[in-house]
Structure 1
Amino acid sequence: MKEILLSLLTGGVVGFLFAFFKLPIPAPPALPGIMGIIGIFLGFKLFDWLF
């Protein structure tokens, strides 16, 4: 759980800094893009689980 919270905090800080310096966001700007990343991760984990 600690790792997840630290990742979320780090992502929040990076997102804040990108917005502060008016840089393009280094992640998909829309929910479908984020869901695509989650799908890739889940597919990878499913493969590990099956094989």
Structure 2
Amino acid sequence: MQAILALVSGLIVGVLFSALKLPLPAPPTLVGILGIVGIYLGFQLYTMLSQFF
């Protein structure tokens, strides 16, 4: 359910920013998107490792 809400809110923000002719508040390239994925995976890795220490 959270994924659907995130997608819908992202679509709404995308439409609003486009209608207002503003730059998107997200990285426009694959490198930027991979950076965001890396941040998320790092957070998950830290959460898993912190259970052992």
Structure 1 segments of 4 or more deviating over 4 A?
A: none
C-alpha displacement at 1:31, in angstroms?
1.3
Question: TM-score by structure 1 length?
Answer: 0.91
Percent of aligned positions that are identical:
52
Segments of structure 1 that go 5 or more residues without pairing to the other structure are none
RMSD: 0.7
C-alpha displacement at 1:20, in angstroms?
0.9
> Rg larger in 1 or in 2?
2
1:42 aligned onto 2:33: no
Question: TM-score by structure 2 length?
Answer: 0.88
Instruction: Provide the residue aligned with 1:6 in structure 2.
Output: 5
Distance 1:31 1:6 in 2: 23
Distance 2:48 2:37 in 1: 16
After TM superposition, the structure 1 = structure 2 runs for residues 23-42 of structure 1, keeping only pairs within 5 Å, are 23-42=22-41
Which amino acid letter does the alignment assign opposite residue 22 of structure 2?
A: L
